[in-house]
Amino acid sequence: MISSAMEEALLTQLNQEFYSAYLYLSMSAYCSHLEFNGAAGWLKLQYEEEHTHATKIYNYLVEQGVQVILKDLDKPPSDFGGILGVFTASLEHEQRMTSRLNDLSDQALKEKDHATYNLLQWFVNEQVEEEASLGGIISKLKLVKDDGYGLLMIDNELGARKLVETAA
């Protein structure tokens, strides 16, 4: 049993995870259009990963006896000003998500809701990994700047990513 305030906060977070998926799909479409097919593949896997995050919260809410009433999704941007802009926008998005998850964790602790707190810690840990991997990509992109060969190498490297199932 979770409080109605926590129920509402988790429904909002569920919406944010779906928005994250939608944002990454829009970024993938943008990269496909620019012929950065490796980056497009990387971002499509990220879209799928965000979908598993949303499902993890959905399953938790159902287990807690909540009727999940889905909220509207915002329209994501479709122009990111180049490949570096895509990954910079990703990192900024993930930093906002980390801040939300920290606030949610504070709320769970305040309510002594340890089950929800445990769920949220999985997400908090996941954010560390996501921010680190985006930061690494941004560093490489800044290093090569407009060098075509360097960009091609990074795109190939991004294209080698495999989906890791992270959510139950």
In the complex, which residues of this chain contact ligand FEO (CB under 6 A)? 17, 20, 50, 53, 94, 97, 126, 130
Q: Which is nearer to ligand FEO, 22 or 150 (CB)?
A: 22
Q: Which is nearer to ligand FEO, 48 or 147 (CB)?
A: 48
> Which long-range CB contacts under 8 A does 121-124 form with residues at least 24 apart?
122/56, 123/53, 124/98
Phi, psi of 31 (to 5 degrees): -65, -35
Which amino acid, residue 151?
L
- Output the smallest distance, CB 24 to ligand FEO, in A: 8
Which residue, 21 or 151, is less far from ligand FEO as judged by CB?
A: 21
Min dist. Cβ of residue 161 to ligand FEO (A): 14
Task: Name the residue nearer to ligand FEO (CB basis): 7 or 50.
Answer: 50
Calpha distance 52→27 (Å, rounded): 18
Distance CA 89, CA 124 (A): 19
Q: Could you tell me the end-to-end alpha-carbon distance of the chain, in angstroms, rounded to an integer?
A: 20
Closest residue to ligand FEO in the complex (CB): 53
Shortest CB 130 distance to ligand FEO, Å:
5
